[in-house]
Amino acid sequence: MRRTMAIAGAVIAFGGVVGTSSVAPAATTTYQAESGAVSQGVVESNHAGFTGSGFVNTDNAVGSSVRWSVSVAAAGGTQLVFRFANGTTTARPMTIAVDGTTVGTPSFAATGAWTTWTTSTVTATLSAGAHTVKATATTADGGPNLDALTVTDSGGGSGAPTAQELLAKVTGCGQISTGLYKSDSELGRTIPVCGKNGAVFWKGDMDIDCDGQRTAQCNEDTDCCFLPDTAFHQSDGRPLNAAALPFVVVPSPSSTWDYRNFGISGGGVVAIVYNNRVEYAVVGDTGPTDIIGEASYAAARDLGINPDPSNGGTDSGVTYILFKNSTISPIEDHAKAITTGQQLARQFVDNN
Ligand code: GCU
Ligand code: CA
3-state secondary structure of 52: coil
What CATH number matches the domain at 28-152, 3.40.1110.10, 3.40.190.10, 2.60.120.260, 2.70.98.10? 2.60.120.260
Please report the pLDDT score of residue 338 as a whole number. 87
Q: Give the H/E segment covering residue 79.
A: strand 76-85
Confidence (pLDDT) at 125: 81
pTM above 0.75, yes or no: no
Q: Where are the domains of the chain?
A: 9-21+159-350, 28-152
pLDDT at 306: 97
Q: Which residues contact 283 (CB under 8 A, 6 or more apart)?
A: 232, 247, 248, 250, 259, 264, 265, 266, 267, 268, 270, 322
pLDDT for the residue numbered 21: 35
**What is d(CA 338, CA 271) in angstroms, rounded to the nearest whole number?**
9
Residue type, 308: D
Candidates 102, 179, 92, 170; CA nearest to 134 is 102
Binding site membership of 60 for ligand 1 (Cβ less than 6 Å): yes
Cα–Cα nearest to 267, from 253, 250, 290, 252: 250
Query: Which bound ligand lies closest to the C-alpha atom of 59?
Result: 2
Please state whether beta strands 294-296 and 199-209 pair in parallel, antiparallel, or not at all (unpaired): parallel
- CB 217 within 8 Å of CB 307: yes
Cβ count within 10 A of residue 19: 22
Distance CA 313, CA 14 (A): 12
Ligand 1 pocket test, pick from 145, 146, 147 with the greatest ligand atom count within 8 Å of Cβ, gives 145
Per-residue pLDDT, 5 = 44
**Tell me, what's the pLDDT at 6?**
39
Is the distance from the beta carbon of residue 346 to the nearest atom of ligand 1 less than 6 Å?
no
Residue 31: its pLDDT value, please?
98
Report the DSSP beta bridge partners of residue 201.
Answer: 194, 321
CA gap 222, 212 in Å, rounded: 13
Q: Would strands 314-323 and 269-274 be described as parallel, antiparallel, or unpaired?
A: antiparallel
Residue nearest atom 2 of ligand 1, based on CA coordinates: 114
| Residue 145 Cβ < 6 Å to ligand 1 | yes
Query: Are 45 and 54 in contact, with CB atoms under 8 Å apart?
Result: yes
Q: Which DSSP category does 290 fall into?
A: S
Q: How far is Cα 38 from Cα 57, in angstroms, rounded to an integer? A: 9
E strand residue ranges, 144-230:
145-152, 194-196, 199-209
Q: What is the pLDDT of residue 17?
A: 34
Classify burial at 237, counting beta carbons within 10 Å of its beta carbon; exposed 0-12, middle 13-18, buried 19 or more.
exposed
Q: Which residues of the chain have pLDDT under 50?
A: 3-23, 157
Q: Which residues pair with 44 in a beta bridge?
A: 55
Q: Tell me the β-bridge partners of 319.
A: 203, 273
Which atom of ligand 1 approaches the CA of 59 most closely?
A: 13
In the prediction, which pLDDT does 77 show?
A: 73
Q: Best of 34, 42, 114, 115 to mutate for ligand 1, by most ligand atoms within 8 A of CB?
A: 114
Of the ligands numbered here, which is closest to the C-alpha atom of 64?
2
